[in-house]
Amino acid sequence: MKNTGHYCSSSTFIIMFIHLVINIVVSPYLTNVAVEGFDPVIQLSYSGSNITQSISKPVFSVVDYGAIGDGLHNDTKAFLKAWEIACSLPGSAKVVFPFGKTFLVHPVDVTGPCRSNITLKILGTIVAPQDPLAWNDLNLHKWFYFHGVNNLTVDGGGRINGMGHEWWAKSCKINHTNPCRPAPTALTFHRCKNLKVRKLMLLNGQQMHMAFTSCIRVVASDLKVFAPAFSPNTDGIHISATRGVEVKDSVIRTGDDCISIVRNSSQIKIRNISCGPGHGISIGSLGKSDAWEKVENIHVYGAYLYNTDNGVRIKTWQGGKGFASNITFKNVVMENVSNPIIIDQYYCDSQYPCDNQTSAVKVKNISFIDIQGTSATEEAIKFSCSDASPCKGLHLENVFLASFMGGNTRSYCWQAHGSTRGSVYPPSCLSSTNDFIRQKVWLEPNPAIDSI
């Protein structure tokens, strides 16, 4: 028995010694050069290195499964084969797109659940097919699509390029003679839990760059998302029906919303975002086609917006139902931003005029705190709320929005009720709570008064 115990102790010592050798001797030679301003990442050993794999996560390079990585040959099957094996194993695993190569990946569904917790390490570049015909007989809404994969991490410092130019040229928003058709979201995560996406660059999405739909517990950080200002519908990060999201420390420059948050999403935190050009940070649109939708508990803390069409925005369609509530925009700096602060309950993104309707998504308990900068338009604050469902609980605190071109700025309010604190410029036009109660007393039918 003593000999057996001594043998186990020696084995433990040997494993510890191997770890020490790898950390001190091998690791410095595996460190990769920083990519596009990201922190250096570890260049993993993609083939061989049985010692490393036996004491850490098994590593599956797509090159070992037939990927060419020249940007011309289709590497989709190689990726799916590596993923299938990694997904089938217990514990943890890594699937790697190696540094220095460009991998052509056609529309692909990556489906869970997996037995393992997978890290998808994108060190090189992944590109989409340039020709939209590659989507013939396929779902036009998807390119890289992850479904039902839990405990997934996607990182590595590499690039994902949607090659969107051909899609933009066919868009009805670029050429109004074209029919309006869908285009793929470059990177979609659907029904994923405990998801981390970090240290990636997304370029030229066919339409939206990254979407989280029906997910729970997501952290997206250290991202760079770039597309030309003219590219249509290329939202940077889109959040829908998702709960528990943190987006932080990222730069987004696209042709549409930097971040859009839509139906049935809650518990969203956005921190340290640089946004512009694009359409700003948007809640909505909500309530299209008379839908019931809600968005609540959204906190934007720390953002810099420049040359954007909007700043911080809430937009709803007439006829919708539900609510947008408990939303805070705080510590936001704006430079040459059109519509810096805007709530629009008459949103209409349509080729035809929208009908006036009485029902509306309720907007309540919205705070704008420590908002500074310059407005590209005279109307720096605009609250255009519903007659049937006025905005309630709006709050402005320490707001200063001067004109970018010089001159004065002003506020516009319609059916908007709330309060101010500290210095607010342009001067607030909000109706106080007492004004709102007074209006209700005199404007609504009152049997006791009408009988006199």
- Please give the residue that has the higher pLDDT: either 408 or 436: 408
440: in domain:
yes
- Are 103 and 203 found together in one domain? yes
Residues 389, 233: Cα–Cα separation, whole Å = 29
- Are 212 and 151 found together in one domain? yes
- Please give the residue that has the higher pLDDT: either 208 or 52: 208
Mean pLDDT of 274-300: 97
Q: Inform me whether the pLDDT recorded for 157 exceeds 70.
A: yes
Mean pLDDT of 353-359: 88
How many domains would you assign to the chain? 2
Q: Inform me whether the pLDDT recorded for 232 exceeds 80.
A: yes
For the stretch 254-273, pLDDT in tens is 999 999 999 999 999 999 99
283: in domain:
yes
What value does the mean pLDDT of the chain take?
87
Residues 132, 389: Cα–Cα separation, whole Å = 43
- Are 369 and 414 found together in one domain? yes
- Are 29 and 113 found together in one domain? yes
Specify whether the CB–CB gap between 122 and 156 falls below 8 A: yes
Q: What's the pLDDT score for residue 52?
A: 40
Q: Inform me whether the pLDDT recorded for 11 exceeds 60.
A: no
Mean pLDDT of 175-193: 95
420: in domain:
yes
DSSP state of 277: S
DSSP state of 422: E
Host domain of residue 318:
257-452
Specify whether the CB–CB gap between 352 and 320 falls below 8 A: no
332: in domain:
yes
Low-confidence winner among 142-151, 249-258, 442-451 (lowest mean pLDDT):
442-451
Mean pLDDT of 377-386: 97
Confidence of residue 245 (pLDDT cuts 50, 70, 90): very high
118 sits in which H/E element: strand 116-122
Cα dihedral: 112, 117, 123, 125 (round 10): 10
For the stretch 33-59, pLDDT in tens is 333 333 333 333 333 333 344 346 899
13: in domain:
no
2: in domain:
no
Residues 419, 383: Cα–Cα separation, whole Å = 13
> pTM for the complete prediction?
0.84
Q: Inform me whether the pLDDT recorded for 290 exceeds 70.
A: yes
248: in domain:
no
CATH number of 378's domain: 2.160.20.10
- Are 52 and 149 found together in one domain? yes
CA distances from 200 to 164, 222, 447 (A): 18, 7, 64
Catalytic residue (choose from 209, 238, 279, 417)? 279
Q: Inform me whether the pLDDT recorded for 12 exceeds 60.
A: no
Of 208, 239, 270, the last residue of a domain is 239
Cβ neighbours of 410 (radius 10 Å): 17
Low-confidence winner among 19-23, 87-91, 233-237, 352-356 (lowest mean pLDDT):
19-23
DSSP state of 25: I
- Which of these, 430, 425, 428, lies nearest to 407 by C-alpha position? 425
Of 186, 204, 239, the last residue of a domain is 239
Which neighbouring-strand residues pair with 305? Answer: 275, 334
Low-confidence winner among 44-48, 106-110, 242-246 (lowest mean pLDDT):
44-48
Q: Inform me whether the pLDDT recorded for 140 exceeds 80.
A: yes
Mean pLDDT of 368-382: 98
- Are 152 and 272 found together in one domain? no
- Are 371 and 313 found together in one domain? yes
Q: What's the pLDDT score for residue 50?
A: 38
- Please give the residue that has the higher pLDDT: either 443 or 241: 241
Cβ neighbours of 387 (radius 10 Å): 11
Residues 66, 92: Cα–Cα separation, whole Å = 23
Q: What's the pLDDT score for residue 433?
A: 54
- Are 374 and 416 found together in one domain? yes
Confidence of residue 335 (pLDDT cuts 50, 70, 90): very high
Q: What's the pLDDT score for residue 57?
A: 80
Helix, strand, or coil (residue 61): strand
- Please give the residue that has the higher pLDDT: either 34 or 295: 295
Strongest mean pLDDT among 27-31, 45-49, 169-173: 169-173
For every residue of 234-254, DSSP letters joined together read --SEEEES-EEEEEEEEEEE-
The percentage of the chain sitting over the pLDDT mark of 70, rounded to a whole number, equals 83
- Are 73 and 187 found together in one domain? yes
279 in active site: yes
Residues 1, 205: Cα–Cα separation, whole Å = 64
Q: What's the pLDDT score for residue 46?
A: 34
14: in domain:
no
Non-local CB neighbours of 351 within 8 Å, separated by 6+ positions: none
Q: What's the pLDDT score for residue 6?
A: 40
- Are 281 and 378 found together in one domain? yes
- Are 233 and 278 found together in one domain? no
- Are 124 and 270 found together in one domain? no
Of 181, 210, 239, the last residue of a domain is 239
